[in-house]
């Protein structure tokens, strides 16, 4: 089952495609997926969205071995992508993935049984407000405990860093369950020991069904991973899962799978995975 | 700058009331402000492929162009979009590159600018600039 646990990240800052190159990479994607890229107004956002799509197809292809042109990726009403294909057998009882893109990085995470959520934040200093003014906008999303931890973190740098870490985790949780809404996040309280052993209390209850990790990606970017129980998924996302009920033993197996570090992938690698497939170049080494 | 007749004054992003800081950090939490929920995935599956209507053909329950323009300005500032970028009523926040943090700040900016309070349930339905403007006018009317 461990093979279903993946964490891939791409640094897009080094990718500077000409409009022509961008178009040809975009054309690797199935027609109906391209609008998810082109809907973005800014080129930087389009770039990130394109890489996000590449990651999804490459991951499904590599991990599940489904031929590229047979991969079906759909979205829930809230916009969360999921695999439409019939799942890859019992090895992965509930294969699901999540993507995030922000700043220089686009990343994907997958899990074979538990829900997975992923969010990337970057340590951006608010351009037009003080740190305190900035975080004040978001105070209602935090529990009293979390808020105290944030504002008592010492320097403004410290406060901002604490803020972003908590926010990143909350986002990963929201994205794991597929709700797309930041509803009642003050009731989703994160507990941790110096940002390890991160768990969550939901409405005051520590169910021990969720685990979280924070990673420093570099260049002031962090990524959070949420891993939790499929039955916590919102209705529209739960419908896309193979299963949402597991016995305690099964579930704990999934929950306690090793968490892996992020693996850097390059855009060239992803393109060659898909390019080889898309064009089915005979005798091409990459197909094997 | 958007060159429309009778253009609204520039919205200043610095005009935040500082009442919340009078009593120091311990009372930074402002009670009574409800959490705002917005779609972070851009709700692209619900988009309609409509050609933008000229302003005069918009249905009568839609917000005034001045309101739409104010919203556009707030959004442009928050997302640091160049002044000449096309932001219209049809523009979707997500498509403009708004992430979850931006979206909260945009709504806070709108609440401040128009003196309104946006409920979670209503905020959920805001996907475009027009949605926001319509909601704002509805809330202003109620006051």
Instruction: Give the tens place of pLDDT for each residue, B90-133.
Output: 999 999 999 989 998 999 999 999 999 998 777 777 889 999 99
Write out the two tokens for A279. Answer: 């064009």
Residues of B in contact with A175 (CB under 8 A): 40
Helix, coil or strand: residue B112: helix
Q: Is B105 an 8 Å CB contact of chain A?
A: yes
In total, the C-beta contacts within 8 angstroms joining chain A to chain B are 105
Which residues between 92 and 131 in chain A have a beta carbon less than 8 angstroms from any beta carbon of chain B?
102, 127-129
Of the partner residues B36, B85, B120, the one whose CB lies closest to the CB of residue A41: B85
Percentage with pLDDT > 90 across chain B: 38
Of the partner residues A151, A171, A183, the one whose CB lies closest to the CB of residue B25: A151
Residues of B in contact with A80 (CB under 8 A): 41
Catalytic residue check, B134: no
Inter-chain CB proximity A139 and B14 less than 8 Å: no
pTM: 0.82
Please give the Cα distance from A257 to A91 (Å, whole number): 13
Instruction: Give the tens place of pLDDT for each residue, A187-196.
Output: 999 999 999 9
Instruction: Give the tens place of pLDDT for each residue, A200-219.
Output: 999 999 989 999 999 999 99
Inter-chain CB proximity A44 and B14 less than 8 Å: no
Q: How many CB atoms lie within 10 A of CB B33?
A: 16
Active-site hit among B99, B102, B131, B134: B99
User: How large is the C-alpha radius of gyration of chain A?
Assistant: 19
Q: Is B98 an 8 Å CB contact of chain A?
A: no
Beta strands in A58-187 (DSSP E): 73-75, 81-83, 96-102, 105-111, 115-122
Please give the Cα distance from A50 to A22 (Å, whole number): 9
């Amino acid at each position: 089952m461990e093979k279903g646990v993946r964490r891939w990240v791409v640094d897009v800052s080094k990718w500077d495609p000409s409009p022509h190159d961008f178009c040809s990479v975009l054309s690797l994607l199935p027609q109906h997926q391209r609008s998810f890229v082109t809907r973005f107004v800014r080129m930087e956002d389009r770039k990130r969205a394109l890489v996000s799509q590449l990651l999804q197809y490459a991951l499904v292809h590599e991990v599940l071995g489904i031929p590229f042109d047979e991969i079906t990726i759909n979205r829930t009403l809230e916009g969360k992508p999921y695999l439409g294909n019939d799942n890859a057998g019992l090895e992965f009882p509930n294969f699901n993935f999540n993507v995030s893109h922000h700043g220089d990085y686009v990343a994907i995470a997958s899990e074979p049984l538990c829900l997975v959520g992923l969010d990337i934040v970057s340590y951006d200093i608010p351009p037009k407000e003080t740190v305190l003014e900035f975080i004040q906008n978001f105070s209602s999303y935090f529990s009293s405990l979390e808020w105290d931890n944030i504002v008592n973190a010492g320097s403004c740098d410290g406060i901002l860093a604490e803020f972003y870490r908590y926010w990143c985790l909350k986002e990963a949780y929201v994205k794991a369950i597929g709700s797309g809404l930041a509803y009642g996040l003050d009731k989703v309280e994160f507990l941790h020991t110096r940002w390890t052993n991160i768990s969550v209390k939901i409405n005051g209850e520590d169910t021990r069904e969720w685990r979280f990790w924070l990673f420093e990606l570099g260049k002031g970017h962090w990524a959070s991973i949420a891993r939790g129980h499929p039955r916590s998924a919102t209705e529209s996302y739960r419908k896309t899962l193979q299963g949402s009920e597991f016995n305690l033993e099964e579930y704990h197996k999934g929950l306690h799978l090793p968490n892996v570090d992020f693996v850097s992938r390059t855009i060239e690698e992803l393109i060659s995975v898909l390019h080889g497939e898309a064009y089915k170049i005979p005798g091409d080494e990459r197909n094997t | 700058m958007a060159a429309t007749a009778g253009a609204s004054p520039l919205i200043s992003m610095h005009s935040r009331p500082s009442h919340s800081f009078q009593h120091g950090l311990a009372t930074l939490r402002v009670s009574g402000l409800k959490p705002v929920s917005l779609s972070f995935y851009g709700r692209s599956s619900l988009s309609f492929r409509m050609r933008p209507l000229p302003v005069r053909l918009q249905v009568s329950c839609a917000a005034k162009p001045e309101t739409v323009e104010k919203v556009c300005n707030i959004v442009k500032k928050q997302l640091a979009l160049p002044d000449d970028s096309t932001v219209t009523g049809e523009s979707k926040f997500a498509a403009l590159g708004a992430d979850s943090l931006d979206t909260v700040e945009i709504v806070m900016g709108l609440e401040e600018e128009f003196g309104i309070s946006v409920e979670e349930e209503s905020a959920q339905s805001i996907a475009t600039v027009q949605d926001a403007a319509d909601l704002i006018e509805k809330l202003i009317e109620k006051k």
